[in-house]
Amino acid sequence: MSRNHVTYLNRLESMASNCDLKQFYLWPRTPVKDHMQEEIIQRTGVSDFDLSQGHSRPRQIISLIGTLLNEGSIGREFSILDFPCGDAIVLWQIKKSFPQANCYGLDCNKGVYTTHEMVQREGVLLYRAFLQDLFINDPVEPFDLALMLNTYRGWRSAGLRASEENLPKLADSWFGRNTRFAVITATDIQVSCLIDLGFSAIEIGKGEDNSKMICISRSPLPKPRA
């Protein structure tokens, strides 16, 4: 694991330790506990537990990671941060496929999902922290990959308070500074906006509902699959 990344995430967790969840909670309609995969199936047609389907979210990401590894864009001990990671099953699938990877998850509901104990036991590191703190604090070194699935495409349903209306712009800026590659699920309009901001983008598969799963970067990207 990267000491710098762990120090950074521990600091974010410490910042959130005495905060009232109600004052920072976003996406209030997002299910917790044992209901997340039911919603994922409704939105994508397949559970994150299932790698047999080509449009499985973790399978699409694992395929991209394999390409990045083969092209030498990332190393075997790559770092990946998923936020908010929800039940962390996507990270768990990635860790199983790439055991040397440093897999980190950030979610204000750490410990609420019944899957968290299992994924941590199998090597995924989880941290209780808030996106509001993440986006205004930078790690010493960038993450090789970052994931923001389901939530990036849904900023309109995030329940942003007046003081948080700039979070989408802060997220884009954070991606540009602190990740080499990022995988998000986004709408066509969001993809166009990211390209206008100077990101390269390729579609790697299906996202939730009518969104696309894309990889963005300020570095060269692999060619899209046919």
The one-letter code for the residue type at 37 is Q
Q: Tell me, yes or no, whether 113 lies in a domain.
A: yes
Strands 179-186 and 212-217: antiparallel
% of the chain exceeding 70 in pLDDT:
98
- For range 129-151, the mean pLDDT: 97
The pLDDT tens digits of the residues spanning 154-193 come to 999 999 999 999 999 999 999 999 999 999 999 999 999 9
Q: Which residues pair with 82 in a beta bridge?
A: 105, 147
Q: Tell me, yes or no, whether 25 lies in a domain.
A: yes
CATH number at residue 69: 3.40.50.150
> How many separate domains does the chain show?
1
Q: Tell me, yes or no, whether 224 lies in a domain.
A: no
The pLDDT tens digits of the residues spanning 15-29 come to 999 999 989 999 987
Q: pTM of the full predicted structure?
A: 0.96
Range of the domain at 173: 3-217
